[in-house]
Amino acid sequence: MSDKKKIFTTGKFEVDGKWASVRETKFTKMVLETRFDRQKFKETKQKEMLDRQRKPMSDEELEELERKSLKDAVTDLYNQRTFLRKLEYEMRRAKRYKRPLSLMILTIDNISQLQRQYGQMIVDEVMRAAARISGVCIRDVDVSGVCEVAKIGIIFPETYSSRAMIVAERIRERMKQEPINSEMRHLRVTTSIGVVSFPTHARDEIDLLQRAMEFLAKAEEEGGDRVHNG
């Protein structure tokens, strides 16, 4: 018999001294190529991340990062820390120039029940609606932000409580009448609002905030869908 290996037509050939099917070899090649592609993709992404870390941020990127650090993730209003700083600043200014300052705090009536019935995502949509509706009712100089969980505060510089009450009533009416968004037209909510002013109700920002919370709680106790001003 010849020393040459016999050639069979079984679709198999010798690889590294072993018989392997053509199909198995193609599959192995495909697996190896896939692994190589994945490793190459991973290395490319890691390089991109390192490049981004080394590359100085542009002015636009820095501005966006700073903006996000000041904003509430749900409502896009000022977050609690920033809002309280704004309130402190406006109080100092009001004291210095002996000018009035009003503060309004609103919340959604029965928000705990709303959360149990519809879930947190719907509550977030309601808070976004409250931020949007209140935003169109106030001036550019007024400052709105999240002062506590599910509570929106609005600072009215150079404003007596009588004027802030008018704005609060306007917000209350619009919240009751307008849909949350185009996809939830069936859902209607009401709000409770507390309004206070300096120097009538308090002499510093801490007391002003506390009195506003008390008036807000009073509005809720009286059945909600109302503005309380003491």
Asked if 156 contacts 99 with a C-beta cutoff of 8 angstroms, the reply is no
pLDDT averages per 10-residue partition of the chain, 230 residues: 44 44 51 60 71 66 73 96 97 97 98 94 96 98 96 98 98 95 88 98 96 98 96
Residue 22 CB contacts under 8 Å (≥ 6 apart), including other chains: 11, 12, 13
pLDDT of residue 47: 73
Superfamily of domain 71-228: Reverse transcriptase/Diguanylate cyclase domain (3.30.70.270)
Residue 165 confidence (pLDDT): 98
Which SS3 state, helix, strand or coil, does residue 159 take? coil
φ/ψ (deg, to 5) at 174: -70, -35
Residues 6+ apart with CB under 8 A from 61: none
144: enclosing H helix or E strand: strand 143-148
Taking phi over 0 as left and psi of -120 to 50 as alpha, with beta for the rest, 70 belongs to alpha
Count the Cβ atoms, other than its own, within 10 Å of residue 153.
Answer: 27
pTM: 0.73
Please write the tens of the pLDDT for every residue from 196-228.
999 999 999 999 999 999 999 999 999 999 999
Smallest CA-to-CA distance from 139 within 167, 98, 165, 115 is with 167
d(CA 27, CA 187): 56
Give the E-state strand segments of 1-52 in sequence order.
12-15, 18-21
- Given phi > 0 = left and psi -120 to 50 = alpha, else beta, which region is 40? alpha
Please, which residues have CB within 8 angstroms of residue 80's CB and are 6 or more apart in sequence?
72, 145, 146, 147, 148
User: What is the number of alpha carbons within 13 Å of residue 84 lying toward its C-beta?
Assistant: 9
Of residues 159, 130, 158, 160, the one with CA closest to residue 145: 130
**pLDDT 10s digits, 3-26:** 444 444 444 444 444 444 444 455
- Angle at CA 149, nearest 5°, toward 155 and 111? 110
**CA–CA dist 184, 205 (Å, integer):** 37
Relative orientation angle of helices 120-137 and 161-177, to the nearest 10 degrees? 130
